[in-house]
Amino acid sequence: MKKIKIMSGLVAFVIPMIASSVFAQDFTLRVADSFPTTHQYSKNTQDWLDLVVEKTNGRIAFKYFPAEQLAKSADLLDAAQNGLADIVYAPPLYLSDRLPLSTVTALPLVGNVTDQQALNDAFNELVLTDLNETEILPLGVRAIRSLVTAPYQVMSRGEKFDTVEQLQGVKLRSSGGVQERSVEALGAVPVAIPAPDLYPALQRGTVDGTLFNLPTAAGYKLQEQINYSTDNINLGLFPALYVINEDVWRSLPEDIQVAIIEAAREVIPAVVQADKDRISEFADGLIENGGGLYQIEDSQLEDWNTKLSGVRQAWVDSLEAQGKPAQAILDRWSALVTK
């Protein structure tokens, strides 16, 4: 009996050691972004990280710091570069001085593709190849995950804007940058209004309409103030990147690198479906207002494209003057979205 007790004690001691060896986390990475935990991007990021853990059988773990817990939004890229964080959210439109080529998705009517999943797939390929090589890796970080919003549309609190002529002198909210130049190119008057202030601005008649993407507009309940919105034009996308410190990336085994990239792609359809649900909610609200979603006719789209071609060319010219391969990136983006 005594021998049996001794053996039992040894087994009880050895099993936890084996278990801890099998399930030990080889790597723990710090992930930081600016989204509150209620935001769908934060939820989707957590799904991404959980899927990576699953794919790697727990060999990697993550400490997630949402809502600017680790660094302010403007400082997140710096945090990845200096090692405060390992993986961070880096939105090109807010970092256009450092990631100018990555703002290519904000350009209007590039192929006029509106399928959000197809646009996400195209941007992911552009990011992991051309953009990483040309401007992201030189910063000491590597893009490993990307997202784009649904395309921006033209929304009206009054009648439909079927033609470019109807936009002349109309006050449209824009978020600045390329979007402001697009509004001007269409003959409308851009009005800079932060998104949270747009609802009362529409309510008061400060603006006649806005450029906005449908799912986000639903999130701000703009359907309560909007009558009509296009749904078949692509006036640009808001791109999002998650980048990892390059030294950290190179320290990871190849199978874990593959799991990170694969998992990033595999969680995107959930975002796209959530956006489709919000678009339905938005469309129902427009119908209640006596309006609805509508499409610009093909015969009119050519006029829109002619007006907006100058915005794309100005983007190219400005960056080419700085020695950046903007035309090559735009051509590549156009090829990817239309293939």
Asked whether residue 59 falls in the same domain as residue 205, the answer is: no
Asked whether residue 137 falls in the same domain as residue 166, the answer is: no
Asked whether residue 164 falls in the same domain as residue 262, the answer is: no
- Residue type for position 336: L
Give residue 4's pLDDT: 37
Asked whether residue 50 falls in the same domain as residue 66, the answer is: yes
Give residue 328's pLDDT: 98
Contact call for residues 86 and 95 (beta carbons, < 8 A)? no
Asked whether residue 69 falls in the same domain as residue 193, the answer is: no
- Predicted confidence (pLDDT) at residue 153 exceeds the cutoff of 90: yes
Contact call for residues 144 and 87 (beta carbons, < 8 A)? yes
Asked whether residue 98 falls in the same domain as residue 7, the answer is: yes
pLDDT digits 0-9 by tens, 20-41: 333 457 999 999 999 999 999 9
191: enclosing H helix or E strand: strand 189-192
Contact call for residues 213 and 282 (beta carbons, < 8 A)? no
CB atoms near residue 298 (< 10 Å): 9
Q: Give the CATH number for residue 250.
A: 3.40.190.170
222 to 20, 134, 275, 289: CA distances (angstroms): 52, 38, 15, 11
- Residue type for position 208: D
Distance in angstroms (rounded) separating the CA atoms of residues 139 and 217: 34
Asked whether residue 64 falls in the same domain as residue 142, the answer is: yes
Domain count, the chain: 2
**Which of 128, 175, 28, 147 shows the shortest CA–CA distance to 89?**
147
Asked whether residue 311 falls in the same domain as residue 299, the answer is: yes
Phi, psi of 199 (to 5 degrees): -55, -55
Mapping DSSP onto H, E and C, the string for 61-105 reads EEEEECCCCCCCHHHHHHHHHHCCCCEEECCHHHCCCCCCHHHHH
Q: How far apart are the first and last CA of the chain?
A: 75
Asked whether residue 38 falls in the same domain as residue 14, the answer is: yes
252-268 burial code (b ≥16 CB/10 A, e <16): beeebeebbeebbeebb
Contact call for residues 215 and 116 (beta carbons, < 8 A)? no
pLDDT digits 0-9 by tens, 83-123: 999 999 999 999 999 999 999 999 999 999 999 999 999 99
Distance in angstroms (rounded) separating the CA atoms of residues 39 and 321: 38
pLDDT above 70 covers a percentage of the chain that reads 93
Give residue 75's pLDDT: 97
Asked whether residue 313 falls in the same domain as residue 165, the answer is: yes
Asked whether residue 186 falls in the same domain as residue 39, the answer is: no
Q: What is the pTM of this model?
A: 0.91
Give residue 254's pLDDT: 98
pLDDT digits 0-9 by tens, 253-282: 999 999 999 999 999 999 999 999 999 999
Q: Which residues contact 104 (CB under 8 A, 6 or more apart)?
A: 110, 126, 315, 326, 329, 330, 333
Domain of residue 244, residue span: 2-148+238-273
**Which of 305, 181, 292 shows the shortest CA–CA distance to 234?**
305
Q: What is the CA radius of gyration of the chain?
A: 24
| Mean pLDDT, rounded, of the chain | 93
Q: Which of the four pLDDT bands, split at 50, 70 and 90, describes residue 191?
A: very high
Contact call for residues 178 and 234 (beta carbons, < 8 A)? no
- Residue type for position 324: K
Q: Which of the four pLDDT bands, split at 50, 70 and 90, describes residue 198?
A: very high
Distance in angstroms (rounded) separating the CA atoms of residues 25 and 56: 10
Asked whether residue 211 falls in the same domain as residue 110, the answer is: no
pLDDT digits 0-9 by tens, 203-232: 999 999 999 999 999 999 999 999 999 999
195 to 132, 221, 319: CA distances (angstroms): 30, 11, 28
Q: Which of the four pLDDT bands, split at 50, 70 and 90, describes residue 2?
A: very low
